Amino acid sequence: MTQQPQTLLDSIPASFDTGPQWLRSVRKSAAEVLRERGLPDKKTEEWRFTSVRPLVATEFARADAEAPKLVSPAPKGVTVRSLRQVLEQEPARLEGRLALGESEHFAALNTALFTEGLWIHVAAGVVVEEPLQLIHEPPKTTEPGVSYPRVLVTVESGSEATLIETYPGENPGQLTNSVVEVELGRNAKLNHVRIHENPGLQVGRVEARQEADSSYRSVVLTLGGALLRFDVRALLQGQGAECRLDGAYLVDGNDHVDHHTVVEHQAPRCQSDQTYRGIASGRGTAVFDGVVFVHRGAQKTEAHQENRNLLLSDTATVHTKPHLEIDTDDVICSHGATVGSLDESQLFYLRTRGIPEELARAMLTYAFIEEVVDRVSHEPTRDRLREAVLARIPAGEAVRGAS
Amino acid sequence: MSTATEPIDEILKRGYDAGFVTDIEQEYAPPGLNEQIVAFISEKKNEPEWLLAWRLKAYRHWLKMTEPRWAKVSYPEIDYQDICYYAAPKSKDDAPKSLDEVDPELLATYEKLGIPLHEREILAGVAVDAVFDSVSVATTFRAKLAEVGVIFMSFSEAVQEHPELVKKYLGSVVPIADNFFSALNSAVFSDGSFVYIPKGVRCPMELSTYFRINAAKTGQFERTLIVAEEGSYVSYLEGCTAPMRDENQLHAAVVELVAHKDAQIKYSTVQNWYPGDENGKGGIFNFVTKRGLCEGERSKISWTQVETGSAITWKYPSCILKGDNSIGEFYSVALSNHRQQADTGTKMIHLGKNTRSTIISKGISAGHGQQTYRGGVKIMRGATNARNYTQCDSLLIGDKCGAHTVPYVDVRNSTSQLEHEATTSRIGEDQLFYCRQRGLSEEDAVSLIVNGFAKQVLKELPMEFAVEAQKLLGVSLEGAVG
């Protein structure tokens, strides 16, 4: 791909002439939506607190890396194929599965422009013990570049798998605009861990479409970012489906991270639970926005949502907006949000036990998001995350030594 | 459950008891809005030049603004040129000096509503500044209040008698261009109440205004301004009901409160405007801007509201906590039945140190009602040790209603603490069963449970209102379980 650097909107082609007909029309509608709406500004409710102005005018070179690869070979029952290849050889198999053409701005941009990606397919009735690990290496160029990773994960009926995605990177000029779609068949289970290590520009979206009795569990860990926006959306379409969306984010310096969750209860007897924790220090800004929609007819819904934030400096800012939109009556729904500093009485307790103040603070700070880190069931990943979090907490290394 | 729902359906269809029309000649401004109309209103009220200039400034701002559409309510386009912006009872020129001189038909109207002024005067010890459409027609207890220096009069009178106070405070909390509806109000406001509590005075009685919208096709644009000087206290009651109408009526009021050092203002509302019939026809559009400024140290503003009426409610009584150690409170019960839509909540803006705010909101949805709590809590950089607690609970009755909770939280100070919690559930079947088992009718059981649900807010109301509010909740909801 050798193209002149262009602004994001200018990079949308006037027409789409390659690929299967259905994909062309999905891309065409995505392009139309974008041309009509442009990129979000401060007036766009979902982007009130996150300005993408630095992205609008920047001319990015198209810098797609190769298709992401699994760290280890795919286990039995799992097929991993390049999206480009499937689109060339058996395009009908993907029809209706690569969607989001008319969704919000950046996912539409990815839909219009992605050229390569992965399709991870877990056959029916397969329980995959080892996690599938995916690393999205950014391109190594230095000038501003943009890449559009795209992943489709299909877990067929009765199967179980764990996917661990990592977005590493060191180059703050690179923009990653990723889309991951997850399809869960009846009674299928996916544990999805997503780690944002990139300190640069990232926009990402995960959409999980769930059939009856399926389970989607997501743990997102964001270790800062100059500008990061992550959206996860779970569609509970079949009876008895459940989802758990958990996440933790740390901001420091001039970081700005923005996490949005959406749970759509479209069928009866579904359950959802969300726990997001944030630590804001330096001049960082952390935004959380979570919505639970309970559609008419989705009786016996149980939905809970919690967002807690620790504000460690007077120059940091936390915005949180957990909301519920409920259109039926037989539900149990709750949400809660808190913003505050470390609990003085807990601090005092630790100090009376002879623990130095700095260490006590670090312990309590780590403990604040440990619950989320502990939700990662794969031990080596959990240990790695623990290290990564401790490395970003003031005096964190002392906690490591103390425990 | 089909047999059990029949009487319930009947109750749900119950008519609006306060629906009747009083036939009194009105003096109208022609429908429509332009600079001439604004000038007409100002002239009718014999206003000073600066106020006319202020109104025209607001009008010109309003022309440039667009109607907000972010609230979760839907209603037909409002034709602002089809509304009469001024209506006053004919008898205005020979204004009554006492109740005896008040148009007996007016008195009869209040009678039907169960607020007989003369009885209330004696029994409740409440000074009633009754607003019939746009011009105040009866003010009582003026003398008693004057003794302690409290000024309580209609807004137009205040403009004549205390122009310096009005000029100083009008628009100081809700600026002209604050929002579309407040700009409209600023341009065309007809009348309202003015309250001034001098330094160190504890207002000897609860001040109360009853509003009524009466003339078809006239919007009511009330303007209320309450100023509490250092160390003073006032409790203000606002209640309203409107007669049955088929056409939507626009109501865009502005309420401004200013609390100086150590002053306290308690503002209570029972709102029961006509909600429209069960198909959503008619009903009041209630777009209200209410805001209080805790100007001085240790000042306190407390909003309590019971919202059971109106087809559309758009209302966010707010507090700006500017003085150190100031306190803001918001207690709300909102109920939407049939096709009512309510988007209501509050905004607490913490500027001063050690400022505290409490928000308790209880929403009840039944029938096809739509209910949204929309609240904002902002803790700015300088608000060291600020504290906020928010609780919003929703109760759902029936599977066709909706309850939505949209809190916005912005925190920029690390020493502050903020908690928000919300729950949504339907009326407990086991609670209902328990009550029914004890021989309570389904209606009584629901009323009991709903009143229990709202108790935390109802107990904040002054006695006079608490009774009315409980009755209102009961009437609006009895047996709404199906």
Q: What digits encode the pLDDT tens for the residues A197-241? A: 877 889 999 999 999 999 999 999 999 889 999 999 999 999 999
> What region does B283 belong to: left with phi over 0, alpha with psi -120 to 50, or beta?
left
Give the model confidence (pLDDT) of B379-425 as tens digits.
Answer: 999 999 999 999 999 998 888 888 999 999 999 998 999 999 888 88
Strand B222-228 to strand B254-259: parallel, antiparallel, or no bridges (unpaired)?
parallel
* Lowest mean per-residue pLDDT among A168-182, B116-130, B234-248, B292-306: B116-130
- Smallest Cβ distance to A322: which of B401, B407, B417? B407
Q: Are B402 and B432 in contact (CB under 8 A)?
A: no
Tokens of A341: 């500093």
User: Judged by CB atoms within 8 Å, which residues 386-405 of B form the interface with A?
Assistant: 394, 396-405
The answer to whether B415 faces chain A, any CB pair under 8 Å, is: yes
- Smallest Cβ distance to A333: which of B400, B416, B424? B424
User: Judged by CB atoms within 8 Å, which residues 247-266 of B form the interface with A?
Assistant: none
Give the number of C-alpha atoms closer than 13 A to the C-alpha of residue A202, restricted to the C-beta side.
34
> Which residue positions in chain A have pLDDT lower than 70?
1-3, 65-67, 101-103, 401-403
- Using the predicted structure, report yes or no on whether residue B95 has a pLDDT greater than 70: no
| Nearest residue in B to A290, CA atom | B406
Closest of A163, A107, A173 to residue A138, by C-alpha? A173
Contact yes or no for A339 and B418 at CB 8 A: yes
Distance of CA A303 to the CA centre of its chain: 20
Helical pair B180-188 and B35-44, crossing angle rounded to 10 deg: 50
pLDDT at A276: 96
pLDDT at B135: 43
The answer to whether A339 faces chain B, any CB pair under 8 Å, is: yes
Q: Are A158 and A125 in contact (CB under 8 A)?
A: yes
Query: What does the pLDDT average to over B49-73?
Result: 89
Phi, then psi, of A62 in degrees rounded to 5: -70, 120
Give the model confidence (pLDDT) of B183-192 as tens digits.
Answer: 999 998 888 8
pLDDT at B138: 42
Q: Band the pLDDT of B214: cuts 50, 70, 90.
A: very low
pLDDT at A400: 78
d(CA A190, CA A194): 12
pLDDT at B411: 93
Chain B residues with CB inside 8 Å of A314's CB?
Answer: 381, 412-415
pLDDT at B477: 67
Closest-CA distance of chain A to residue B114, Å:
35
Chain A residues with CB inside 8 Å of B405's CB?
Answer: 323-324, 335
- Interface pTM (ipTM) of the complex? 0.80
- Using the predicted structure, report yes or no on whether residue B131 has a pLDDT greater than 60: no
pLDDT at B69: 83
pLDDT at B88: 59
Query: What does the pLDDT average to over B462-473?
Result: 74
Closest-CA distance of chain A to residue B379, Å:
10
Contact yes or no for B404 and A337 at CB 8 A: no
Q: Band the pLDDT of B3: cuts 50, 70, 90.
A: very low
pLDDT cut 90: percent of chain B above it: 33
Query: What does the pLDDT average to over B18-39?
Result: 69
- Using the predicted structure, report yes or no on whether residue B132 has a pLDDT greater than 60: no
- The per-residue DSSP string of B257-292 comes to EEE-TT-EEEEEEEEE-----TTS-S-EEEEEEEEE
Contact yes or no for A323 and B411 at CB 8 A: no
pLDDT at B309: 80
Chain B residues with CB inside 8 Å of A335's CB?
Answer: 405, 420-422
The answer to whether A342 faces chain B, any CB pair under 8 Å, is: no
Report helix, strand or coil for B377: strand
Residue A76's alpha-carbon distances to A7, A127, B209, in angstroms, are 43, 9, 77
Closest-CA distance of chain B to residue A33, Å:
21
Handedness of CA B52, B53, B59, B65 (dihedral sign): negative
Contact yes or no for B426 and A330 at CB 8 A: yes
Task: Share the mean pLDDT of chain B.
Answer: 79
Contact yes or no for B399 and A297 at CB 8 A: yes
pLDDT at B219: 54
Report helix, strand or coil for A23: helix
Q: Band the pLDDT of B107: cuts 50, 70, 90.
A: low
The answer to whether B417 faces chain A, any CB pair under 8 Å, is: yes
Chain B residues with CB inside 8 Å of A327's CB?
Answer: 401-402
pLDDT at A399: 82
Beta bridge partners of A334: A304, B423
pLDDT at A7: 87
Chain A residues with CB inside 8 Å of B66's CB?
Answer: none
Contact yes or no for A331 and B425 at CB 8 A: yes
Contact yes or no for A333 and B398 at CB 8 A: no
Contact yes or no for B424 and A321 at CB 8 A: no
State the residue for tokens 């007989």.
B116
Task: Give B180's contacts (C-beta < 8 A, 6+ positions apart).
Answer: B62, B65, B66, B67, B68
* Lowest mean per-residue pLDDT among A115-129, A270-284, B131-145, B432-446: B131-145
- Using the predicted structure, report yes or no on whether residue B134 has a pLDDT greater than 50: no
Chain B residues with CB inside 8 Å of A297's CB?
Answer: 399
Q: Are A155 and A184 in contact (CB under 8 A)?
A: yes
- Smallest Cβ distance to A324: which of B412, B418, B424? B424
Closest-CA distance of chain A to residue B283, Å:
23
Closest-CA distance of chain B to residue A357, Å:
17
Q: Are A54 and A203 in contact (CB under 8 A)?
A: no
d(CA A31, CA B478): 53
- Using the predicted structure, report yes or no on whether residue B116 has a pLDDT greater than 70: no
